[in-house]
Chains A and B, each alone.
Chain A
């Protein structure tokens, strides 16, 4: 595997379910990100981890819970979601979490549908 991988690619869940999204990066990067991408809207940064510590949480509802057990893996735990949470969830990684030239490498995303 190379780059950034995400599983599952598609997920349909009910509002009472609990599920987790997984992201893995094979680039030796120190920072990882979760984004939400909705149609015709800018990417919304949800969480940033640098060296396994959360450095940013952009007022995300508590029904989204991130976990970063090591610098290569990132999870997003989901519970009691709402239909408006349906979106593409993208994971990204970069060498560091700061600096001006900080190219982010993205995974293919998980298309989430909440019924």
Chain B
């Protein structure tokens, strides 16, 4: 079967750095997405990785290792508005999106 694993919940402090991990076992791989979803709102696109390595976009970076079936989202200089759920999704061999259950990130002052 296909599976995406993420921690259910994480807590971090304002101004700090947090890393949210995502491991996957899917039938093929054609890319990995990270989305952010604030409570009661729509998921919004954060990043897309298809090649190994780190993609940096401002305070957010996303890393991919295809050989390890592993990705992480790195958030720096955390702000209270970063409190949200972070969804990992993999594009499989049929170009279907396989979603993780999301990681709820709580930022404390």
Task: Give residues in A with beta carbon < 8 Å to B.
Answer: 4, 40-43, 45, 90, 98-109, 111
Contact = CB atoms under 8 A, between A and B. Distances in A.
A100 to B, nearest CB: 4
Interface in B1-22: 4, 8
A2 B57 CA distance: 24
A42 B37 CA distance: 13
A4 B42 contact: yes
B91 A102 contact: yes
A31 B87 CA distance: 21
Interface SS of chain A: helix, strand, loop or mixed? Answer: loop
A100 B100 contact: no
A100 B101 contact: no
Contacts of A109: 40, 42
Contacts of A101: 31, 48, 50
Given A99-B95, A100-B95, A103-B33, A43 B44 contact: no
Interface in B37-54: 40-45, 48, 50
B84 interface: no
Contacts of B33: 103
